[in-house]
Amino acid sequence: MEVLDHEQIKQVFEHEKRPPVVPNLANVDWGVLDYFGWIHPAGHQGYVVVPLANDEIRGLVLRRSIASVRKPRFEMCSWCNHVHQSSGTAMFSTIVRGSDERKTVGNLMCRNLDCSLRIRNLCSDPPSYMGETIDLGNKVSRLQNSLYRFLHRSNSLYAMES
Ligand SMILES: [Zn+2]
């Protein structure tokens, strides 16, 4: 994705009641990212910034829940299709815009919001337990489609009217 600066990311979240603290961007390798995601230091929230095909960007605030006791089992990230052996995913949910906080949508996703690194095998932990033969280009478009679908489901695909 294109390089974003601190100001641009802040702007994406300016309508949020509690805007996130934007992390240090000095070491971000934008070239290997399809979306920019980070986790609040307290661990209960995640944030994603998603570039759209028309060069606009969207942001989502996500609530993160990690099951505390869990039997080892395979879990697949619904954004990047990476298969984790155990504890690699978390449930992320967001409030549907315009629902007066009554509706949420959620997905099981990579717990550190690092899908882009996973599809490029840039994570140090084990590769996906379900090997795939599709090439990176297809993995990228599948991830992008999942992101757009999630934005659509949470009613966040269109710009917020200010
Ligand atoms: Zn993922």
Kindly give the distance from the C-alpha atom of residue 115 to the centroid of ligand 1, in angstroms, as a whole number: 4
Structure tokens at 8: 């641009």
pLDDT digit string (tens) for the chain, length 162 residues: 999 999 999 999 998 888 899 999 999 999 999 999 999 999 999 999 999 989 899 999 999 998 766 677 889 999 999 999 878 999 999 999 999 999 999 999 999 999 999 999 998 887 888 888 899 999 999 999 999 999 999 999 987 665
Structure tokens at 96: 């549907």
Question: So where are the chain's domains?
Answer: 6-153
Kindly give the distance from the C-alpha atom of residue 29 to the centroid of ligand 1, in angstroms, as a whole number: 17
Kindly give the distance from the C-alpha atom of residue 47 to the centroid of ligand 1, in angstroms, as a whole number: 14
pTM metric for this prediction: 0.92
Whether residue 89 contacts residue 75, with contact meaning beta carbons closer than 8 Å, is answered with yes
Q: Tell me the CA distances in angstroms from 116 to 63, 93, 123, 144, 160, one per residue in order.
A: 20, 19, 10, 10, 26
